[in-house]
């Protein structure tokens, strides 16, 4: 009878370890390349990168997205209020679609592709629009009152 209880206890411990490993693989961005459950990289391997951006900065520099795993930025953006997002990030105009968020802050234009570790900064709106057109995305920048 003791061997049956030990067997059940060991099986439960094994199941708990497997659940812990799955949770870690799904939620830790540092090992996202090793994640066997994430097939998002299989979908679009030939994406066009922005060519006209003058500079970039990493998502970790952004206080809104610093605690969000890269794979979850799209979901997090869907959940938050767009008007509050514009207030906190200082955007005067913003537009988005399923793959990108674009905005104007002062004289700079910012483009972010969901899931990437960096944002692209443009000096002119035309450069931003040209890159968006090359990436087959039609985003119109709208004022905060539209959200």
- The secondary structure of residue 67, as a DSSP letter, is T
- The region of weakest confidence among 10-19, 32-41, 99-108 is 32-41
Q: How do residues 16-51 score in pLDDT, each as one tens digit?
A: 999 998 887 777 766 666 655 655 555 544 455 566
Q: How much is the average pLDDT of 4-9?
A: 92
| DSSP assignments along 36-47, one per residue | TT--HHHH-SSP
Position 76 pLDDT exceeds 70: yes
- The region of weakest confidence among 37-46, 75-84, 113-122 is 37-46
Q: How much is the average pLDDT of 44-59?
A: 59
Confidence of residue 68 (pLDDT cuts 50, 70, 90): confident
Position 122 pLDDT exceeds 80: yes
Tell me the C-alpha distance between 104 and 95, whole Å: 9
Position 60 pLDDT exceeds 70: no
What is the per-residue pLDDT for 136?
85
Tell me the C-alpha distance between 3 and 9, whole Å: 10
Tell me the C-alpha distance between 94 and 86, whole Å: 7
- pTM exceeds 0.85: no
Higher pLDDT, 139 or 64: 139
């Amino acid at each position: 009878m003791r061997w049956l209880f030990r067997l059940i206890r060991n099986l439960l411990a094994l199941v708990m370890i497997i659940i812990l490993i799955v949770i870690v693989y799904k939620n830790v961005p540092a090992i996202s390349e090793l994640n066997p459950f994430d097939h998002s990289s299989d979908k679009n391997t030939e994406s066009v990168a922005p060519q006209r951006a003058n500079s970039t900065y990493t998502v970790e520099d952004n206080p809104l997205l610093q605690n969000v795993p890269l794979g979850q930025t799209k979901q997090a953006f869907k959940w938050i209020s767009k008007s509050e997002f514009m207030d906190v990030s200082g955007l005067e105009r913003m537009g988005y679609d399923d793959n990108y968020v674009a905005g104007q802050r002062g004289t700079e234009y910012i483009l972010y592709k969901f899931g990437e570790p960096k944002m692209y900064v443009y000096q002119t709106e035309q450069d931003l629009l040209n890159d968006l057109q090359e990436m087959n995305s039609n985003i119109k920048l709208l004022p905060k009152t539209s959200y």
